[in-house]
Structure 1
């Protein structure tokens, strides 16, 4: 067939971009899950500090005010997690609420780990896991990457153009990758000339690569947050253990150095409480 080699070469390039895109997305989602776990550990660290301060007699009133602000931050984080868990348990109702990313949020990300969908949502600071996943996968770029679908009908269960558009809206390249559907295979189901298929495939590859770079940038920020959160949480626990070693239960019995150390530790705890709530800018 005319230009069949051109078409086949383009399809192979699309398959490679497809695989690389899926790997980048999965890595980012898994790193977000690690960040989420680090934040849960950080909350436990903050609670250790909180219990120590509450048990300290004659502590400054400012300590209680700061504790209230710190507690408000981590409780807000916990409440959002609880709301997402409850939404997940609602099953089908939740999937409908996910909107464009419903299919992906309900099946694809769940396959990555039990808390992956929640971790993505918490990283983007949204109340909807699906909205967060759409932000991660780049809905606009996803549609651009599948521009080749616009010229013909997708043979998806015999649904024609309408079925193709619906499938596109629900998933996109990321959803297809995770669900094991081949972009190149669907490409061949489009009724276009080999030359047109090849041209649109090249456009798709370029769009997918651009979107993959954005996902990698997101992942780099997630890795940075995780490293900072873990380091600060560990440092606070070590310093708290050192202060506890003086076995003093009354703040007025502290030396000036011990008071300064406690204030410094308190400030670090406040920073950690803020880091827990950091979210990706949309």
Structure 2
């Protein structure tokens, strides 16, 4: 009656899609945390090997280039971790103030929403970028939008993912709070032709929003596959570096046999490859 069935069906389909979205988002969050844990262990190994090669006497000059690049990758990873820790402190400090204070920094928003472990996984998997504007100077909706754009890799005009991509990151914390269905179900429908028109309009809105959620699900599924692949590749590379490092027992390059020198070279290059792999980011864009 008055197309109420059409509205009800559209909302039910929408809610079912949202449930699938939340499961996929939870999985992506879990995979991101697993990737971070793997990378944290890998970076420990990289640092250990880098230190070992640096203390190896009489190393050839060709090792220097790879070692400098490796050291830079180590710094990049550690800087990301330090940024999260700083944001966590800011978020805790902001939590004791006003609501506007929660937007002290975009990353602080993420930490407050997800928790430090999840935020660390997200930041090291997807990365973050500044909007170029001090978010602490903004308030209300402006701060919220700037934070979302920041999390999404910057404004669309600057080549970033914008607020949409930022919303995806915040959505990884769990249920993303899609409010359209609940609003539709509780809204007063009215009577007569107006009710019919409103039911039809509501059904159309729910169907259109469901398509947006379906698109997010497809994007998340692709990301899940990519992150799983990164976890596996990182694990294999770690094993290779670990085995090579274990074989290098002498502390003077000149004391190595020809075969051992070849293995030492492979170790240096493999360690750089692992360090670069640790900092590889998954793109949010389609």
TM-score if structure 2 supplies the norm length? 0.74
Partner of 2:268: 266
What are the Cα deviations for residues 227-279 of structure 1, in whole angstroms up to 9, with x where unaligned? 111110122112211232xxx22211111111111111111111111112211
Q: 1:73 to 1:48 in 2, by over 3 A?
A: same
Partner of 2:106: 98
Partner of 1:123: 125
Listed as ranges, the gaps of 5+ residues in structure 1 are: 143-168
What are the Cα deviations for residues 96-133 of structure 1, in whole angstroms up to 9, with x where unaligned? 4329x94xx355433xxx41112212222214685575
> Contact 2:26–2:173 (CA<8 Å) still a contact in 1?
no
What are the Cα deviations for residues 9-48 of structure 1, in whole angstroms up to 9, with x where unaligned? 1111111111111111121122111111111111111122
Distance of 2:178 and 2:240 partners within structure 1: 46
Match of 2:23, SS? helix
| Residue 87 of structure 1, CA deviation | 1.5
Count of aligned residue pairs for this structure pair: 245
Distance of 2:126 and 2:48 partners within structure 1: 27
What are the Cα deviations for residues 162-196 of structure 1, in whole angstroms up to 9, with x where unaligned? xxxxxxx9899948962667642122245661121
Partner of 1:146: none
The one of 182, 192, 202 equivalent to 1:185 is: 182
Match of 1:90, SS? helix
> Contact 2:128–2:151 (CA<8 Å) still a contact in 1?
no
What are the Cα deviations for residues 41-88 of structure 1, in whole angstroms up to 9, with x where unaligned? 111111221232123222223323422221111112101210221012
The one of 205, 220, 224 equivalent to 2:210 is: 205
> Contact 1:45–1:237 (CA<8 Å) still a contact in 2?
yes
> Contact 2:47–2:74 (CA<8 Å) still a contact in 1?
no
Partner of 2:236: 231
Distance of 2:239 and 2:173 partners within structure 1: 40
> Contact 1:88–1:94 (CA<8 Å) still a contact in 2?
no
TM-score if structure 1 supplies the norm length? 0.75
Partner of 1:250: 252
Distance of 2:76 and 2:151 partners within structure 1: 21
> Contact 1:80–1:127 (CA<8 Å) still a contact in 2?
no
Distance of 2:236 and 2:3 partners within structure 1: 56
Is the aligned partner of 1:31 residue 2:31? yes
Partner of 1:58: 58
Q: 1:75 to 1:189 in 2, by over 3 A?
A: same
Matches for 1:45-84 after TM superposition, within 5 Å:
45-84=45-84
Distance of 1:12 and 1:174 partners within structure 2: 21
> Contact 2:35–2:230 (CA<8 Å) still a contact in 1?
yes
Distance of 1:184 and 1:190 partners within structure 2: 10
Distance of 1:175 and 1:273 partners within structure 2: 26
